[in-house]
Each structure stands twice: as structure tokens, then as C-alpha cells.
Structure 1
Amino acid sequence: MTEIWLPVLLTFLVGGLVKGAVGLGMPTVVLGVLSAYIPLPQAAALLVIPSLVTNIWQLISGGNLTSLVSRLAPLAVGLALGTVLAPIGMATVDAKFATRGLGLMLMVYAIIGLSAARFIIRPSLELWLSPLIGIIAGLVNAATGLFVMPVVPYLQSLEFNKDELVQALALCFTVGALALAFRLHQDEVPVFGDMSGSALALIAALLGMPIGKLLRARVSERVFRTSFYYCLLAIGGFLLLKTFFVSGLAYG
């Protein structure tokens, strides 16, 4: 049991550290690393409670919540509906393809982050683009448990200030986690079956967040983000190599 829980707790600790340092990244780190140890639906189920608690904390700690919810409602509704109604979910898709999709998404996200590409969405496009992006993100969320692509680049294109962006990310991640929990329950994956494991994962994440904030005060955020993206690139590449060159996915 220790050989399973030790990497789980360490992964949540690092995920909390990254979230404390840059305001996002815990689901990305956790699913990217844990999918090498345990089945992806199980890793996603463990992530639900820590993700909800840390994102709600991040969401309510900022200002302008009412206007933000109003602006992002079409995106959030699309994300929820896309997740719940997606024809393919983690519990039904082949583990190899789900892991391959996760690895590919991590690599694309890392490459975009390293390129520092910036897109600006005009307000006239936001009204119809937000629900479309939300639905696409929901489909990805249902299949892989992660929707940083396309949600994070899209939110960055809406020209929020730094604090608004962190709060907008927290709102989307909260909605995504709730929708994923409902979808996993629909697919008979026990989301709250291992409450002790989820509680330990939450404690590890909460311990990591203040460490990340201290790190942010001592290390350039640009250096940290660059290191973060290179790590995601490596994790995504490893997952792709594993699914292409290892016959079957075995978890111990």
C-alpha cells in the first residue's frame, strides 16, 4: 500500500506547490504523473475533492465574483454540459487512448506556454465562442479529466488582469471538477469511495500551496513557469511513449 500512496501524496504535494506558485496546474500535474501509476479514472476521482476545495478557496478570495460569474456563465454551462453529456468518458474509453490523449494535451499545452503565444478575442466573438469552447473543453474533460486545453489559452485571450485570471481559472476548474464528479458517478466510478485517500491528498495539496507561495516570492515567476512547462512536456512525452511502446497499461 505504501508504494502506491507515497507517489500519490508526493504528487499532490507538488501539485499544490505549483498551484500556490502560479495559480493553476494542480490537476495537470496530478493526472499527468498519477496516470503512470494508477488507472486514469481512479486518479481523476482522487483529484475531485482536493481540486474543489483549493479552487473554491481561490475563487472566493478574489473580488468581482458576481461580474465574473455573469461573464463566464456561457463557458461554464458549456463545460458542464459537455462533460456530463459527452459520448465518451474515462470509464468507457480504452485506457491506452485516454492516456495517449492526456499526454498529447499536456505536450500541446506546454508548447503553447513555452512559445508565449498570445491571442486576443474581440468582445463581439466572446458571446458565441465561450459556449463552444466550453463544450469542447467538456468533451475533453470527460475523456481525460483535464481541460487546460482549450480553456486556459482562451481565458488568457480575454484580457483579464492577473487577479481576475486566477479567479476565472478557479471558477472554471470548480465547475469542471463538479461536472467530472457527476460524470464519474454516472459511469459508476466511486468518486467518494475512498474518503480517507481523498482527505490525505487534500492535506498534501494544502501543505504544498503555501510552499509554492513562498517559492513564488523567491524565484522569478517566469523561470518557474518555464520549468513547469518543460516538466509537462516531459510528462506528456513519457505518457505518449508508454502507450505506443509498452504493450498494455499495467498498474500495480
Structure 2
Amino acid sequence: MIGYSPLHLFFAFVVFFAAGIVKGVTGMGLPTVAMGLLGIVMTPVHAVVFQIVPNYVTNFWQLFTGPDIRGLWRRLWTMMLALILGTALGIGALTHGEGKWTAFGLGVVLMIYAGLGLFHYHAPPPGRHEKWLSPVMGGLTGLIGGGTGSCIIPAVPYLNSLNLEKEELVQALGLTFTVSNIVMTLGLACGGALRLHGLGLSALMVLPALLGMWVGQKIRYRVSPETFRRWFLICLFLLGLQLAAKPLFS
């Protein structure tokens, strides 16, 4: 069973408030920021438990407010199936592996994601290769996400390459994160890392996250979202570097 100190709870409130601000300004990044910052003071499996309910709230919103969920499902169902299988295979590393090495993996994922964003990397459209590439990308995302708690690589760059409309892309990300979150929840429960009290604490994190999003939306009108996003990615890269370096020098 996972236990949380008052310091953990206070820090989690601050983290989800900050992550909400990032999402309010840029429209993305809440689970990524939360996972990275929580990883400073707790293992990734602890961090995943904290963000389960906020992830459901934000991802459901992305998923069910988009234009065509059925059309996306028909296009991406093989990717989602592979994502489920990959996550189920990879989550054992999160629930039963050594915390310092799962944190190392999380740090590497954050650095890759931030680096791609800072250099404005855009993966080429898959074209006729999409049929077989989608399940490959889904499976890799599941394995990495299951092992580190973050399912952004390579799913986010790949979905960006599909030339979806803006609303479709947001919905596709919501679908990917929702499917991943469901499998992660089941995996944590089966691995003994999730209890009802953990879900209750996670539900409390919705409040600072929503408050942070409201503040972030106010900031958006005063600061360039692109400038904010650039500094967010720089900070995310440094955070990932800290997480990846810590096990090497401990």
C-alpha cells in the first residue's frame, strides 16, 4: 500500500495548480508537468496515482467535445489496441520495478518530448505506411507509458504527423490518453498500488488543477502563448535532466 505524508499532499496541490496554469496558457501539458514535478519527491508510481482522476476529467473533456469520435476510432483503433497491450506489458516495470530507474526513464521521456518541441520537429506524414505504423506507435507508447507513467512518446509526435484538423488532433490526444489512463488504472489496481484512499486523494487534485487552468487562461491574454510554451519546454527539459541524472549519481 502507498502512503502519503502531509508534505506530499501539499506539494501535490502546488504541482497540480502549476500544471493547470500551463494547460490554461498552452492548452496542453497538465499530466506531463504533474508527472515530472511529482517525480522529484516521490516515485513515478506514486505520481501516477495522484494524477488518475485529474487525467480522467481533462481527457474526457478533450475526447467528448471533439467533432467525430467515431471517425477517429475507425482510423486509430489498431493504434489503441496496441496501446492497451503495450501498457499492460509495460506497467509491471512501474509497479514492481526500482523507483529510481523508472524515474530515469521518465526523465529521458521528458527530455525527448521537450527537445522535439524546442527544435520544432515535425514527423513526416506516414502516408501509405499508416496502416502498419499506427499499431507500432501505439505499442511503443504503451510500453514506454506503462513503464514510466507518461504516454507522450512517440504518440504525440505521431498524431501530429497525421495532418488532423486542430479539433481532431485534440480529440485524438484525448482518446489516446483516456485509453492509456484506463489501462494504467487497472494495472495499478492489479499490482496493489491503488486503493480507494488513493483515488480519493487523486480526486482532490482536480480542484487545484481547475483553479490553475482558470489562472492560466487569464495569463494567456497577457503573455504570448508561444513564449510561455518555449520556456515551459526549457523547464521541462531541465526537469527531465534532473530526473534522469539523479539515479546515476546516487
Give the structure-1-normalised TM-score.
0.92
CA distance in structure 2 between the aligned counterparts of 1:212 and 1:87, rounded to whole angstroms: 32
Displacement of 1:10 after TM fit?
A: 0.9
- The 1:91/1:83 distance shift into structure 2, 3 A limit, reads same
CA distance in structure 2 between the aligned counterparts of 1:72 and 1:238, rounded to whole angstroms: 35
- The one of 195, 199, 210 equivalent to 1:206 is 210
Summarize the alignment of residues 117-156 of structure 1 with structure 2, pairs less than 5 Å apart: 117-156=121-160
Aligned CA-pair RMSD: 1.6
Runs of 4+ in structure 1 deviating by more than 6 angstroms, as ranges, are none
Q: How many residues are aligned here?
A: 246
- The 1:76/1:218 distance shift into structure 2, 3 A limit, reads farther
Summarize the alignment of residues 1-252 of structure 1 with structure 2, pairs less than 5 Å apart: 1-86=5-90, 88-246=92-250
- The 1:197/1:142 distance shift into structure 2, 3 A limit, reads same
- The 1:97/1:20 distance shift into structure 2, 3 A limit, reads same
Contact in 2 for aligned 1:23/1:166 (Cα 8 Å) = no
- The 1:5/1:163 distance shift into structure 2, 3 A limit, reads same
Displacement of 1:214 after TM fit?
A: 2.7
Deviating more after overlay: 203-212 vs 221-230: 203-212
Displacement of 1:194 after TM fit?
A: 2.3
Displacement of 1:191 after TM fit?
A: 5.0
CA distance in structure 2 between the aligned counterparts of 1:235 and 1:192, rounded to whole angstroms: 30
Paired letter, 1:212: G
CA distance in structure 2 between the aligned counterparts of 1:68 and 1:20, rounded to whole angstroms: 25
CA distance in structure 1 between the aligned counterparts of 2:107 and 2:95, rounded to whole angstroms: 17
Paired letter, 1:78: A
Give the structure-2-normalised TM-score.
0.92
Per-residue Cα deviation, 1:217-250 (whole angstroms, up to 9, x for no partner): 332221121111101111011112221112xxxx
- The 1:72/1:42 distance shift into structure 2, 3 A limit, reads same
Contact in 1 for aligned 2:91/2:187 (Cα 8 Å) = no
Contact in 2 for aligned 1:75/1:130 (Cα 8 Å) = yes
CA distance in structure 2 between the aligned counterparts of 1:74 and 1:191, rounded to whole angstroms: 31
Displacement of 1:124 after TM fit?
A: 1.1
SS state of the match for residue 93, structure 2? coil
Paired letter, 1:155: L
Displacement of 1:27 after TM fit?
A: 1.5
Per-residue Cα deviation, 1:193-227 (whole angstroms, up to 9, x for no partner): 32331121111112222222333333222112111
Paired letter, 1:71: R
| Structure 2 spans left out of the alignment, 5+ residues | none
SS state of the match for residue 19, structure 2? helix
CA distance in structure 1 between the aligned counterparts of 2:221 and 2:76, rounded to whole angstroms: 30
CA distance in structure 2 between the aligned counterparts of 1:181 and 1:245, rounded to whole angstroms: 32
SS state of the match for residue 194, structure 1? helix
Paired letter, 2:120: A
CA distance in structure 1 between the aligned counterparts of 2:91 and 2:56, rounded to whole angstroms: 24
Deviating more after overlay: 92-101 vs 192-201: 192-201
